[in-house]
Structure 1
Amino acid sequence: MATDDDATSDRVNSVDRVFKKVLDAVAKTAPEIREGLPTRRAKVETENPSGETPLAADVYADELLCERIGDIEGVGTYASEERPEAQTVGSGLSVCVDPLDGSSNLKPNNTMGTIVAIYDSPLPATGDDILAAAYVLFGPTMTMITAYDDTVTEYVIQDDGTYQAIRVDVTLPDDPTVYGFGGRVADWVDEITEYVREIESDPSMKLRYGGAMIGDVNQVLTYGGIFAYPTLADAPEGKLRIQFEGYPVGYIVETAGGASSDGHQSLLAVEKDDLHARTPVYVGNESLVDGVEAHLSDDD
Structure 2
Amino acid sequence: MDRHITLGEFIIENQKDFPYAKGELSALLSSIRLAGKVVNQQINKAGLAEILGKAGKENVQGETQAKLDIMANEVFISTLRNRGEICGLASEEMEDFLAFDEDMHKDAKYIVLIDPLDGSSNIDVDITVGTIFSIYRRKSETGNTVNMEDFLQPGENQVAAGYLIYGTSTILVYTTGNGVNGFTFDPGIGSFFLSHPDIKFPEKGNIYSVNEGNYVHFPDGVKKYIKWVQQIDEEDGRPFTSRYTGSLVADFHRNMLLGGIYLYPQGTTAPNGKLRLLYECNPMAFLTEQAGGKASDGLRRIMELQPKELHERVPFLCGNKEMVEKAENFIKENQS
TM-score (structure 2 length as normaliser): 0.82
CA contact (8 A) 1:77 1:92 kept: no
Change in 2 beyond 3 A, CA 1:258/1:181: same
Do residues 131 (structure 1) and 140 (structure 2) align? no
CA contact (8 A) 1:239 1:280 kept: yes
Match of 2:109 in 1: 92
Change in 2 beyond 3 A, CA 1:28/1:265: same
Superposition map of 1:198-277 within 5 A: 198-202=228-232, 203=238, 205-277=240-312
CA contact (8 A) 2:40 2:166 kept: no
Superposition map of 1:1-300 within 5 A: 11-38=20-47, 39-89=50-100, 90=105, 91-121=108-138, 122-159=150-187, 161-182=190-211, 184-202=214-232, 203=238, 205-298=240-333, 299=335
Match of 2:11 in 1: none
The one-letter code sitting in structure 2 at the alignment partner of 1:187 is H
CA contact (8 A) 2:32 2:80 kept: no
CA contact (8 A) 2:137 2:159 kept: yes
CA distance in 1, matches of 2:260, 2:196: 19
CA contact (8 A) 2:39 2:75 kept: no
Query: How far is 1:72 from its partner?
Result: 2.3
CA distance in 2, matches of 1:123, 1:176: 34
CA contact (8 A) 1:178 1:219 kept: no
CA contact (8 A) 2:35 2:75 kept: no
Query: How far is 1:19 from its partner?
Result: 4.2
Higher mean C-alpha displacement, 277-286 vs 114-123: 114-123
CA contact (8 A) 1:96 1:244 kept: yes
CA distance in 2, matches of 1:241, 1:19: 23
RMSD over aligned Cα, in angstroms?
1.9
Query: How far is 1:37 from its partner?
Result: 2.9
CA distance in 1, matches of 2:18, 2:210: 43
The one-letter code sitting in structure 1 at the alignment partner of 2:21 is V
CA distance in 2, matches of 1:174, 1:272: 31
Match of 2:147 in 1: none
Structure 1 stretches (4+) deviating beyond 4 angstroms? Answer: none
Q: How many residues align?
A: 293
CA contact (8 A) 2:295 2:316 kept: yes
Q: Secondary structure at the match of 1:44?
A: strand
CA distance in 1, matches of 2:135, 2:58: 25
Q: Secondary structure at the match of 1:150?
A: coil
Q: Which runs of 5+ in 1 are unaligned?
A: 1-7
Higher mean C-alpha displacement, 111-120 vs 228-237: 228-237
Match of 2:6 in 1: none
Q: Secondary structure at the match of 2:38?
A: helix
TM-score (structure 1 length as normaliser): 0.91
Query: How far is 1:36 from its partner?
Result: 4.7
